[in-house]
A = this chain, B = another copy of it.
């Protein structure tokens, strides 16, 4: 009778207590999907392709996952297990910066992660562990709980922004973008842009602003 499936996948049991046993596990499916996304990008992760990698039929995946988006959630949360979470040192700024640096590394490993983190933020078991760690680091900090949550979201979000930005600069899209910028500069109606393009070609690139921006943004939310 009463169906009422649990709305979040993490609250549903992975295996039913009775009936035929599942031949695969969520972790197995997630790993295949992550590997595929790492290799060919997020839009290559279709139910049929993931299924064929696992050697099963596409419809079988729906025994493990209610929808494709849930599979993506599994992928996102699985990357949160790649963090190394040392005990708090007492300097919360340093500890959170360490976390942000790790996030940057992880997102570089998984090019699809920034899109995921920004467009579909998810808290699974591993994300929960990460949140617990952040709260532990901020245990003695006298800020509203809501602000601490905001800080938690800001670390991954801001890092995702940075990684995406530095990837867009090395992309093939950068060529098109700069081509249009040069076109605009040549038109002459935007003097500041013209000047900026002239200055950019001569200068070397400046240092990495990641650490500074992250720390300052964090001190912004945490007061």
Contact = CB atoms under 8 A, between A and B. Distances in A.
A127 B161 CA distance: 18
Contacts of A121: 164, 168
Given A118-B161, A209-B221, A216-B220, 16 more contacts: A7-B175, A7-B176, A8-B176, A10-B180, A128-B181, A129-B190, A135-B193, A135-B196, A144-B203, A144-B205, A145-B200, A145-B203, A146-B203, A149-B196, A158-B217, A216-B217
Contacts of A206: 144, 146-147
Nearest to A116: B119
Interface in A94-126: 115, 118-119, 121, 123
A interface, size bucket? 35 or more
- Interface secondary structure of A, over-half rule: helix
Count identical subunits in the complex: 2
